[in-house]
Amino acid sequence: MSTEKDIIETNVNITKAPEGIEGAGFFATSLDQVVGLARKNSIWPLPFATSCCGIEFMATMASHYDLARFGSERLSFSPRQADLLMVMGTISKKLAPVVKQVYLQMAEPRWVLAMGACASSGGIFDTYSVLQGIDRIIPVDVYVSGCPPRPEQVIDGILRVQELVGKESLRRRNSPEYTELLASYGIE
Amino acid sequence: MENVTQEIGKELQDKFGDAIVSQSLIIDFPTFVVKKEKILDIMNFLYDFELYKFQFLTSLCGVHFPDNVKEEEYSVVYQLHDLVRNQRIRLKVFTSESQIQVPSVTSLFSTANWLERETFDFFGIQFTGHPNLVKILNMEDQPYFPMRKQYPLEDGTREDKDDSKFGR
Amino acid sequence: METPVSYVPILIQLGVALGFVVTTIVATHFLGPSRKSKRKLNSFECGIESQGNARVPFSIKYFLVAILFVLFDVEVIFMYPWAVNFKALGTTGLVEMFIFIGLLLLGFFYVVKKGALKWEDK
Amino acid sequence: MNTTDLEKKRAEIEKQGYSILNLGPTHPATHGIFQNILTMDGDIIIDAVPTVGYIHRAFEKLAERRAYYQITTITDRMNYCSSPINNFGWHMTMEKLLGIEVPKRAQYLRVILMELARIADHLICNSVIGVDTGALSGFLYVFQEREKVYEIYEEICGARLTTNLGRIGGLERDFPKKAWDKIHAFIESLPKALDEFETLLSRNRIFMDRTIGAGPISAERALNYGFTGPNLRAAGVDYDVRVATPYSSYEDFDFQIPVGVNGDTYDRFMVRQEEMHQSLSIIKQAIAKLPEGPIHADVPDIYLPPKEEVYNNMEALIYQFKIVMGESNVPAGEVYHSVEGGNGELGFYLISDGGRTPFRLSLRRPCFIYYQAYTEMIKGAMLSDAILTLSSLNVIAGELDA
């Protein structure tokens, strides 16, 4: 019978502490990494689910694939408390201003995940009414390919976002490059 | 099924005379081409018709025939269904581009409300007597009617579909 | 023997509490990255531009129910001290509390009779 | 309506002491992208102005540019909760136009897949009604069953949601052994999960108080609005396309049609719950009476010949080339065929002029047709009942804005 210790060793991997100076009874590391560690394991996603990818996201949130294991248990449908805007499904030209408005009203620091081919590039719907990819209106951090992507792919996308969140420096959001990137989308 | 078409055709012929342009049986649907002015009266007549009570409007859609003769460029296809005797029929109405008005049937079937708005949205067919004829699926201020054959399907802003690479 | 000096720890504790609250509120405004823009600051209207303002006259029954709730909730708060030293107060306390509760019960019947809690009027 | 008269309308509404609430595009309660501008007196709804078309992807225009066998990828994404029903609906339309007789075994396999899709669709709808009345745990348990249906699809066609199942003329391959094991396991586990879900909700005091009388619609108003499917049966009319015009040998199975009484949310919930049991019995009958034989009709000009034949005999190579290039000859003509989808009669009206692609494909989308009645169903109701009515109608945006 595997002892208590082995079970922990095999199944549960606890988040590794960031590098820092270790001493008797103290641990020192840079503020970026501590804040990054805290943010990355408690991302509150805003599920902007429109079509088929929305149903696949329901499968990712349900008990089988369970996105809650990665700290994203708490969905926030209002942009005020959301960190990550997950755009899932086809965005038509009628819906584009809505996506932009929701993105604008999110509190900094904010990230965007484009789930599925439709959100990333318009997918198979190259038609007069579909916006060919949301990166034409808002900056996107992670693209998840697939139509719809499997829940494992969505979780992989979330992990990629978590790496970005973990490594981000605290001054990035006020840096000139970031302001210039937003200006290129007409967001002041 | 063939005698059903004849029966209904004969009844309609007696009642409306030359408003019934033609009748035919297409696979399993008795189809009647009728004059557009009479469409509402024909539907009222069929609603409480003694042979079959066609009281369920299954579907309504528009079609654009660019190569047809000028008077028959746009068509609206109605499909009715008598749920009790399980008999379906199809009514077709043709109209030209210049006066593209077709009387609305919303007074008889509430289901036609959005179906007619969708047909207007796609083909620009004006349904006279419709309570709120506004584009429903596309943006209200879209200047053109996208389902007409002369308009392209593609959005045109895609860079990865470079026609030269596909020999177009 | 209490002298004014022995109250100093309470003041310090109060200062620390207030200080902590004020500093965290003020500090977060300067620490976190923030992006102020007109479209961002007006109200979230399910994704579309908000029109008109939300200060619209509401029907009275909402305020009525709220005030009545507060009233009876405060009544319950008065019962806590009574419940804590129930034994000490003995029967006199019991009678006094019953009078207190009885009065409020009268008020409650009045409210129900007047129909203040009737929701689906009209 | 442009902004000026919107302002006028708003001022006039506010003068009567009503308030305007925007149940807007992104809203957790609408389970999809619909907007309703509600005129409210307190929390009673006086009027609702719906706006749809937020994910209009121009399926009908797209269908005019694709070869006949490529349209299956569009029908997948119409009602994506039960995509096999859409796929087979399209294939049966083509078989009706071309006059192809699909062998019995393929018809039975199609029936099994369609009934699995119907169960999966009703599972989502009923569990979302539970979520909207506050019983989230029902959703988590029942979604586990839907995962099992996903696994069965994966065994058969590799995809979970947009299955792209079947071909014109039959199925592309027979069910592998693992699929049969998973189907048998699913048949054992579903009744237990359904009973557990029913004990949780059906006779639950709070659930019954919330759903009985929420969003009722009478039979003739439902028929006038073109209702079909579970929503019409909940209103008391027992019209089911599988019984009215049987297709894919549905006449070989006996199953009852559950019918509701006053067409409110509780009836819609119970009708869908009973339909799942009926679908399960259909699957069992189909497995019991499954005949042997080929799984696709012998129509080489429309059904891709197998690879080894293509490599060593000439006609198969020519057929393969013609089909893949989309040159398959489809006679000019028009056909309408409808199947019983998850939400109602899903119809395909196809006009073909003999060319490579359909001349016009009009889709009868049940969600688009019965969502019109939503305004009338929620007039005078509370806001929370309006949200319940919306989820009990099972309005799927992909099918509505096709």
Any idea what the Cα angle at residue D102 is, between residues D101 and D108, rounded to 5°?
Answer: 140
- Whether D47 and D63 map to the same domain: the answer is no
Chains near B, with 3+ CB pairs < 8 A? A, D
What are the pLDDT digits (tens) for D220-256? Answer: 999 999 999 999 999 999 999 999 999 999 999 999 9
Nearest by CB to A126, from B137, B146, B161: name it.
B161
pLDDT band of residue D346 (cuts 50, 70, 90) is very high
Q: Is the peptide bond before C33 cis (omega within 30 degrees of 0)?
A: no
Measured CA angle at C28 (ends A30, A141), to 5 deg: 65
For residue range D129-147, list pLDDT tens digits in order: 999 998 888 999 999 999 9
CATH of the domain at D140: 1.10.645.10
Residue of C nearest to A79 (CA): C44
Inter-chain touch C61–D42, beta carbons under 8 Å = yes
What residues pair up with A112 in beta bridges, in sequence order?
A85
DSSP notation for D243-279: HHS--TTGGGS-------SS-SHHHHHHHHHHHHHHH
Cα B120 to Cα B114, B140, D390, distances in angstroms: 10, 11, 26
Q: Do D89 and D187 reside in the same domain of the chain?
A: yes
- Regarding whether D175 and D42 lie in a shared domain, the answer is no
- Whether C122 has a pLDDT exceeding 60, the answer reads no
Name the strand (E) or helix (H) holding A57.
helix A52-61
Distance CA B81, CA D56 (A): 28
Strands A84-88 and A111-115: parallel
Asked whether the predicted pLDDT for residue A176 surpasses 80, the reply is yes
Task: Choose from C42, C44, C48, C121 for mutation: most chain D CBs within 10 A.
Answer: C48
Question: Which two tokens mark D394?
Answer: 């099972």
Helices (H), D36-173: 59-63, 72-76, 83-98, 104-132, 136-157
- Chains meeting C at 3+ CB pairs closer than 8 A? A, D
Residue A186 CB burial class (10 angstroms; 0-12, 13-18, ≥19) = exposed
Nearest residue on chain B to D338, alpha-carbon basis: B58
Domain boundaries, chain A: 44-184
Q: What is the spatial distance between Cα A131 and Cα D222, in angstroms, rounded to a whole number?
A: 35
Sketch out chain B's domains with CATH numbers. Answer: 2-148 (3.30.460.80)
Q: Distance of CA C116 to CAs B116, C62, C65, C66, C76, Å? A: 48, 10, 8, 11, 21
By DSSP bridging, strand D345-352 and strand D19-23 are unpaired
Question: Are D41 and C61 an interchain contact pair (Cβ–Cβ within 8 Å)?
Answer: no
**Residue D256 and residue D364 in one domain:** yes
Find, in chain D, the residue whose alpha carbon is nearest to that of A122. Answer: D57
**pLDDT for the residue A4:** 64
**Residues D162 and D236 occupy one common structural domain:** yes
Asked whether residue D381 falls in the same domain as residue D259, the answer is: yes
Q: Residue C1 — very low, low, confident or very high, per pLDDT cuts 50/70/90?
A: low
Find the residue in A nearest to D125 (Cα).
A55
ipTM value > 0.90 = no
Over range D173-184, report the average pLDDT: 94
Task: Say if CB D361 and CB D68 are below 8 A apart.
Answer: no
Residues D156 and D42 in one domain: no
CB D342 within 8 A of CB D85: yes
> Measured between CB atoms, which of C47, C58, C62 is closest to D26?
C47
Give the total number of structural domains in chain D.
2
CATH number for the domain whose boundaries are A44-184: 3.40.50.12280
Q: Do residues A44 and A81 make contact, with C-beta atoms less than 8 angstroms apart?
A: yes
Q: What is the pLDDT of residues D84-136, one digit of tens each?
A: 999 999 999 999 999 999 999 999 999 999 999 999 999 999 999 999 998 88
How far is it, in rounded angstroms, from Cα A109 to Cα A113? 14
| Domain identity same for D38 and D64 | no
For residue D69, give the DSSP letter: G
Q: Judging by DSSP bridges, how do beta strands B126-128 and D19-23 pair with one another? A: unpaired
Place of tokens 């509402």: B40
Alpha helices in B17-151 (DSSP H): 39-47, 112-123
Which position has the higher pLDDT, C55 or A123? A123
Q: Write out the two tokens for C66.
A: 């709220």
Q: Do D179 and D245 have their domain in common?
A: yes
Q: Quick one: tokens of B106?
A: 């919303």
Do residues D40 and D64 share a domain?
no
What is the per-residue pLDDT for D307? 87
Q: Which domain holds residue D98?
A: 59-401
**Shortest Cα–Cα distance, D16 to chain A (Å):** 30
CB within 8 Å: D143 and A62: yes
Q: In Å, how far is D10's CA from the nearest CA of chain C? A: 8
Q: How confident is the model over D35-65, as pLDDT tens digits?
A: 999 998 888 899 999 999 999 999 999 999 8
Q: Which residues pair with D20 in a beta bridge?
A: D39
Determine the residue type at D187: I
Same domain, D238 and D372: yes
